[in-house]
Structure 1
Amino acid sequence: MAGNSQRRNRRTSNKKGATVGSGGNRRRGLEGRGPTPPAEMRKKHKKNRIANAKAKQAARKPVARRGGKGQSEMVVGRNPVYEALRDGVPATMLYVQQFIDNDERVRDALHLAQQRGGIHLMEAPKPELDRMTNGLNHQGLVLQVPPYEYAHPEDLAAAAFDVGEEPLIVALDGITDPRNLGAVVRSVAAFGGHGVVVPERRAAGMTAGAWKTSAGAAARTPVARASNLTRALEAYQKAGLTIVGLAADGEHKVGDLEALDGPVVIVVGSEGKGLSRLVGETCDYLVRIPMPGGAESLNAGVAAGVVLYEAARRRS
């Protein structure tokens, strides 16, 4: 029998000896893990798989954009960087080459960046700056300009109506020089306009050059970007705005057009090609600027300034 064995040290029971304690494991095991999460948050649950699939599908859908953003830009070189900082071009980062010769222009650029605030200073080796600028002659200074936040064309007219004013907007057709865009923005601000519209493709955008030419006006004058300029003009017409296009062979003279008194969009084409066919056909009026001096044409910035002055004179 198991209990009657006479052999020494033979185990006669399957029971273990007493244990000191469980270290609190049993008590923690009884505490539970809190409330059960909803089915959508529990892995391997059917509803969780459905919720994840819907989220991925929504991420693939195109998001309706209002005006959109431009692209970030690099200003390179000691003089361009200094002038951009001096003229108020928005910037987020100033890269300075390691062991750079600390001349007067470098010191002035660093002082302006620190004085403006919001611009981070980053020291970088020359090979890194060469890579960032694709080998351009950066002279040890590189300024990063953030993407421009474009408005939507409808926002320009809506903002004017909200303050009880007749919208005065300039639309640019085929203007590819950022300096012309900056000059137009400056003229719009000077004569009480409500913004500028540019096409999304084959047109100048709000680059650092446009910011500089605007002489600070770009900070208070919105620029909208339209995916299709003709459709944007048609939308303005439906909202009650008159579309006035500038053309060398326009039927009306700028000084004789009474439509400039009310809500109006002034469309300016390139100096060489003028207005495109579809844009010209969309305009309610085609007007010309009389030039007794015999000049054949004016650049976009000057032409827009002449018409904006006439519109401001009539409104006042």
Structure 2
Amino acid sequence: MPEPALLSDPSDPAVQRLADLAKPSRGSVRTAIVEDQEPLVQALRAGVRFVEVYGESTRELPADVAALCAEHGVPVRLVEPAVLTKVFRSEKRPKVFGVANVPAPARFSALADGTGDVLVLDGVKIVGNIGAIVRTAVGLGARGVVLVDSDLPTIVDRRLVRASRGHVFSVPVLLETRERVTRWLTDAGLRVVDVDMDGSLSPESLGALDEDVALLLGAEKTGASDALQGLATDTVSVPIDSRVESLNVSVVAGIVLYARTRRGR
């Protein structure tokens, strides 16, 4: 790979373009910033196409990032610290980041041929929780994650990419309406298990369900909507000490997904 070019002038038009990408966006975007080493590596491994990758000029580009950029033909440019300050303002400055072409939104067809359970998050809005669940879903073999009423405009939301450590690109993550999810679950014939504080079954009982299921989780305080809960044939709860009101939804997701890995054993 040729020697990386250096971006050193804060007044360079390229710097302003990067600064615009770093701003929060609610609309449709074609390119987005993926920051920090692990998310960048996971996105490159998942086949996300990058316009360019940038590294701080005072540091050596991480070896795995450099190797993946060379493998995929992604141009690399070094950036002076003053330029990074202008791009990211008062935010924590990443030492390495890339500008990626936003992948096409995942559709239900992406789940049709896969294996593993599907997580349906209904009304879960805290991005850190969503990212943690996506990362856990990848680690424990889920087929995909469907987000309903998440308030996220795109899966390349920088907060979500960061919270999932880049694994939002490793598994299909769908942004869908409650109505479309209801139709898909009905048409797909996927058994729906509602994970709820008042569920009648324990997580261990999930191991007795041999087929793939849709695990429905709602917000910590309110649970899933009546419309989706009405599709559930089973309800599961995680027993906890009475001194604790509830568990974080990402913790519950990890418990039930792990319980699902024990099926057949």
TM-score, length basis structure 1: 0.57
In the other structure, the counterpart of 1:253 is 202
Pairing 1:177–2:126 present: yes
1:78-117 matches, cutoff 5 A: 81-82=36-37, 84-85=39-40, 87-90=41-44, 91-95=50-54, 102-103=57-58, 106-108=59-61, 113-117=65-69
In the other structure, the counterpart of 1:272 is 221
1:52-131 matches, cutoff 5 A: 72-74=31-33, 81-82=36-37, 84-85=39-40, 87-90=41-44, 91-95=50-54, 102-103=57-58, 106-108=59-61, 113-117=65-69, 118-122=73-77
Superposed CA RMSD in Å reads 3.7
Q: Quote how far apart the aligned CAs of 1:267 are.
A: 1.0
Q: Quote how far apart the aligned CAs of 1:159 are.
A: 0.9
Cα separation, partners in 2 of 1:201 and 1:210, compared to 1, 3 Å: closer
Deviations 1:86-144 (A, max 9, x none): x5344432346xxx8x43xx3235x55433214323467999877765x4557596632
Pairing 1:285–2:221 present: no
Cα separation, partners in 2 of 1:148 and 1:176, compared to 1, 3 Å: farther
Pairing 1:222–2:179 present: no
Deviations 1:55-75 (A, max 9, x none): xxxxxxxxxxxxxx9753335
Q: Quote how far apart the aligned CAs of 1:248 are.
A: 1.3
1:295-314 matches, cutoff 5 A: 295-314=244-263
Q: Quote how far apart the aligned CAs of 1:252 are.
A: 3.4
CA distance in 2, matches of 1:198, 1:155: 14
Question: Structure 1 stretch 258-267 or stretch 137-146: which is displaced more?
Answer: 137-146
Instruction: Determine which structure has greater relative contact order: mean sequence separation of CA pairs < 8 Å that are 6+ residues apart, divided by chain length.
Output: 2
In the other structure, the counterpart of 2:145 is 196
TM-score, length basis structure 2: 0.67
Q: Quote how far apart the aligned CAs of 1:233 are.
A: 3.3
CA distance in 1, matches of 2:211, 2:204: 14
Uncovered stretches (5+) of structure 1, i.e. residues with no partner: 1-68
Residues 240 and 263, structure 1, Cα contact 8 Å, conserved in 2? no
Matched positions, count? 228
Q: Highest CA radius of gyration, 1 or 2?
A: 1
Equivalent of 1:150 in 96, 105, 111:
105
Uncovered stretches (5+) of structure 2, i.e. residues with no partner: 1-27, 45-49
Residues 268 and 300, structure 1, Cα contact 8 Å, conserved in 2? yes
CA distance in 2, matches of 1:310, 1:81: 32
In the other structure, the counterpart of 2:18 is none
Identity of aligned residues (%): 24
Residues 32 and 99, structure 2, Cα contact 8 Å, conserved in 1? yes
